[in-house]
Amino acid sequence: MSERIPTVDTFEPLHPKKVKAKSSDNLIHTRSFTGLYRTLRVAGAALLFLLFFGTVWLDWGGRQAVLWDLAESKFHIFGATFWPQDFILLSALLIICAFGLFAITVFAGRVWCGYTCPQSSFTWLFMWCEKVTEGERNQRIKLQAAPWSLNKLARRSAKHTLWLGISVLTGLTFVGYFTPIRPLAAELLTWQMGGVSLFWVLFFTAATYINAGWLREAVCMHMCPYARFQSVMFDKDTLTIAYDSARGERRGPRKRDVRPAEVGLGDCVDCQLCVQVCPTGIDIRDGLQMECIGCAACIDACDSIMDKMGYARGLVSYTSEHQLQGGKTRLLRPRLIGYSAVLLVMIAALVVALVERPMVSLDVTKDRGMFRENAQGLIENIYSLKVINKTQQRQDYRVELMEAEGFQLQGKTKLSLAPGEIVDVPVSVALLADTPASSSQTLRFKVTDVDEPWIYKEADSRFVAPLNR
Ligand code: SF4
Ligand code: SF4
């Protein structure tokens, strides 16, 4: 039997909606509210915005602390520098993020969407700007319907100015993680920015303005792939935001001091506040829907009504299907354990890979010519060694051949490299006259840090000799 909770697509409703989530202009005008989950979301978003907008301005060791230097193909993060050869670690990090998302979705549904997704966070910020400039929900609906006037023009201009300001700052910040932010900001302020930088700043400015200002919930509903497949990860113990219909129905208005049983009603007073605060304009009382981003606004709204009515909180709450059916939510279940186990293994593997990451890089390229005879009459192959000092200090290295009796390495075998320096070193390997050798065999090159011999890197190449020696 499938454990999947069926989702309801509200674009083809099973029942005609009794509640109009959208106003006559077909826009969602959300109502302000307060509550525990709103406070958590604001605190989380504030922290994320601080990290995003603030980190880019930090310096570390005389350089921008976090910078993906595309021109030099290096990623600097505080004291560490990652090179293209290290990008396998990035793949591991992405896999960890994916399994983290799977595990948290199995456990608590769409908390990522509701609390930390940039689309949601920026949309809430833009909605706050809207409230500041155009007023509360009812005022905004009236303003939308009103003919153009000086008041409407001033309020709309203020809103779009704020939206654009945030969008430009976002575009600049995002590009600032790939191009040093200080000169970039100076270029923007003096109108001297051009070329690729200007294109990308404008691109991310437009993306923020359109996504958070205009598209909003449409991104979650129609563009985000996660919204489409997240329901297959749900099981009957996944925490989702749900309306307790057994307790709430029959819904209906009543006076504050009337107990539900006296009028044959459930606890839902049909105030529609849960619908008016919903950023995607759905009615949680219709059941779990694909459009629900798990923001918990409806919980805060309904709890405030329950408080006013003197009823117990939790008519809309985080709960599981098992709990709604009178059972208990099982925390430990095979799928959650599986995702968590893979997550822990991947994190451990990444930590080991980071700790053991070689701080020197060696690539060996054999010359295109097969072999040649040198001045002493010995068979010789030519190689180019590409050595990178990945540390933040000058380092001295020794280059040698491993387990290569009868072979002689010739060329520059002592190197001194500045921090981050890359050198191409031409060397040759000669086969001593009395050494038996096949026509092709593997040679292992090794570059070792002279002062810290545990820092080394090995790389293989082929040595080619004539068939008849
Ligand atoms: S139904 Fe509730 S949790 Fe879902 S998006 Fe609307 S307000 Fe947020
Ligand atoms: S906020 Fe609560 S009481 Fe009001 S309509 Fe929604 S579920 Fe019913």
Ligand nearest, relative to CA of residue 277:
1
**What would the two tokens of residue 401 be?**
């051949």
Distance between CA atoms of residues 171 and 173, nearest Å: 5
Sign of the dihedral defined by the CA atoms of residues 46, 51, 52, 57, in that order: positive
Look up residue 366 and give its DSSP letter.
E
pLDDT exceeds 60 at position 5: no
pLDDT in tens, 12-26: 333 334 445 555 566
CB 296 less than 6 A from any atom of ligand 1:
yes
Q: What percent of the chain has pLDDT over 70?
A: 94
Place of tokens 């208990």: 328
Distance between CA atoms of residues 409 and 441, nearest Å: 15
Name the band, by pLDDT with cuts 50, 70 and 90, for residue 10: very low
Pocket test for ligand 1, best of 278, 289, 300 (most atoms within 8 A of CB): 278
pLDDT in tens, 280-337: 999 999 988 888 999 999 999 999 999 999 999 999 999 998 998 888 988 888 989 9
CB 274 less than 6 A from any atom of ligand 2:
yes
Distance between CA atoms of residues 23 and 346, nearest Å: 48
Pocket test for ligand 2, best of 247, 251, 283, 302 (most atoms within 8 A of CB): 302
Give the pLDDT of residue 227: 78
- Could you write out the DSSP letters of every residue in 324-355? HTTS---S--HHHHHHHHHHHHHHHHHHHHHH
Task: Give nearest CA residue, ligand 2 atom 6.
Answer: 274
Place of tokens 């280059």: 399
CB 269 less than 6 A from any atom of ligand 2:
yes
pLDDT in tens, 204-245: 999 999 999 999 989 998 888 887 777 788 889 999 999 999
CB 175 less than 6 A from any atom of ligand 2:
no
CB 239 less than 6 A from any atom of ligand 1:
no
pLDDT exceeds 60 at position 463: yes
Name the band, by pLDDT with cuts 50, 70 and 90, for residue 66: very high
The predicted model gives 426-448 an average pLDDT of: 86
Ligand nearest, relative to CA of residue 298:
1
